[in-house]
């Protein structure tokens, strides 16, 4: 389930996707020529979502970029998604969604795990917090990504709380003693969102995904039960989804579900790291650095996010 109020499936005209594909291709050509800083060792990223498809929407482009450079990315869905469909449910749906998630991960070369907690019933218990601590430690994460603990959906909200509560605890030896602890606290990030209370999202890191938007759409396309069935059904658009697999993928690319709009308030962070090239960027993913993990220096940000052009002129 994603933020349903942000969906606008009202426009079903497929003509829009052609412009989108062209923009992706042009951006790929433009940015592939940029220098990429040499990496000494792979960055290890773990992202948490409440449902199988949440990580994909918030950080699918970022994950595709990391993966293409040989870094290690894992997506974890804290629930099994067994309530996210109009006609299927329970074990049958959980099995289907786990397979979809694994296919999505395969398409961009990352690992995808779906934990077996029930969809729509997630609570920030000690048991689930320990599952999260184990995941972060086992992945030896440099970066952890999660939703902010302010969201319309309780599963999203509690995923944010669970990951927030695991930060710092990942370096405490007496807790979850069955899993080797981390030597240092990772950098914790929030996905972008549009909620304003108690405070709005702050874009600290904005990464262009113009060069991977086709990969991100391909990843989303693997979640057939969601993007072609459940989500259109929730807004009365199910009958308008094309039945042909290639046509429905083009339809998906034409909807706001596929790629989030570049927000005006992301501009400052974009210019800081891309300089004058920021004006050409059309699609991006934004993240906020939380107060609860390690606070990276600008030098470390450049090492952890090896996508920014070295020669970008700084404003
Ligand atoms: Zn969700």
Å from CA of 226 to ligand 1 middle: 10
Å from CA of 161 to ligand 1 middle: 15
Q: What is the pLDDT of residue 39?
A: 58
Å from CA of 67 to ligand 1 middle: 23
Give whole-number Cα distances, 270 to 134, 313, 314, in Å: 34, 12, 11
pLDDT tens string, the chain, 315 residues long: the values are 444 434 433 333 333 333 444 444 444 444 433 444 445 799 999 999 999 999 999 999 999 999 999 999 999 999 999 999 999 999 999 999 999 999 999 999 999 999 999 999 999 999 999 999 999 999 999 999 999 999 999 999 999 999 999 999 999 999 999 999 999 999 999 999 999 999 999 999 999 999 999 999 999 999 999 999 999 999 999 999 999 999 999 999 999 889 888 999 999 999 999 999 999 999 999 999 999 999 999 999 999 999 999 854 454
Query: Between vectors from CA 268 to CA 71 and to CA 197, what angle results, nearest 5°?
Result: 90
Phi-psi region of 88 (alpha: psi -120 to 50; beta: other; left: phi over 0): beta
Note the pTM of the prediction, 2 decimals. Answer: 0.89
Token pair in block for residue 25: 């291709």
Rounded Cα distance between 65 and 277, Å, is 18
Q: What is the pLDDT of residue 311?
A: 55
Å from CA of 55 to ligand 1 middle: 9
Å from CA of 73 to ligand 1 middle: 19
**What residues does the ion ligand 1 have nearby, CB within 5 Å?**
1, 50-51, 54
Query: Between vectors from CA 11 to CA 6 and to CA 14, what angle results, nearest 5°?
Result: 125
218 phi/psi in degrees, rounded to 5: -65, -35
Q: What is the pLDDT of residue 296?
A: 98
Å from CA of 254 to ligand 1 middle: 21
Do residues 304 and 143 make contact, with C-beta atoms less than 8 angstroms apart?
yes
Determine the longest span between alpha carbons in the chain, in angstroms. Answer: 58
Give whole-number Cα distances, 294 to 188, 242, 301, in Å: 7, 46, 11
Q: What is the pLDDT of residue 310?
A: 82
Å from CA of 275 to ligand 1 middle: 34
């Amino acid at each position: 389930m994603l933020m349903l109020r942000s969906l606008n499936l009202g426009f079903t005209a497929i003509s829009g996707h052609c412009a989108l594909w062209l923009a992706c291709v042009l951006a790929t050509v433009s940015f592939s020529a940029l220098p990429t800083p040499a990496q000494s060792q792979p960055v290890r990223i773990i992202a948490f979502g409440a449902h199988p498809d949440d990580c994909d929407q918030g950080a699918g482009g970022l994950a595709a970029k990391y993966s293409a450079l040989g870094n290690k990315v894992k997506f974890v869905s804290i629930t099994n998604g067994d309530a996210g469909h109009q006609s299927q449910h329970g074990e049958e749906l959980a099995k289907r969604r786990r397979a979809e998630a694994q296919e999505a991960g395969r398409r961009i070369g990352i690992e995808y795990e779906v934990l077996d907690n029930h969809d729509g019933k997630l609570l920030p218990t000690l048991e689930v917090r320990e599952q999260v601590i184990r995941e972060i430690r086992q992945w030896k994460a440099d970066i952890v990504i999660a939703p902010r603990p302010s969201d319309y959906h309780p599963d999203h909200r509690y995923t944010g709380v669970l990951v927030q509560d695991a930060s710092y605890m990942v370096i405490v030896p007496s807790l979850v003693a069955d899993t080797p602890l981390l030597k240092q606290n990772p950098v914790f990030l929030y996905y972008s969102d549009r909620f304003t209370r108690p405070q709005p999202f702050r874009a600290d890191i904005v990464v262009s995904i113009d060069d991977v938007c086709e990969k991100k759409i391909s990843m989303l396309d693997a979640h057939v039960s969601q993007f072609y069935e459940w989500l259109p059904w929730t807004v009365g658009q199910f009958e308008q989804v094309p039945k042909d697999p290639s046509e429905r993928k083009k339809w998906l690319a034409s909807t706001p579900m596929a790629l989030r709009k570049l927000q005006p308030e992301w501009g400052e962070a974009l210019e800081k790291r891309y300089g004058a090239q920021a004006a050409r960027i059309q699609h991006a993913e934004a993240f906020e650095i939380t107060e609860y993990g390690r606070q990276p220096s600008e030098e470390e940000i450049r090492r952890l996010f090896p996508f920014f052009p070295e020669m970008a002129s700084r404003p």
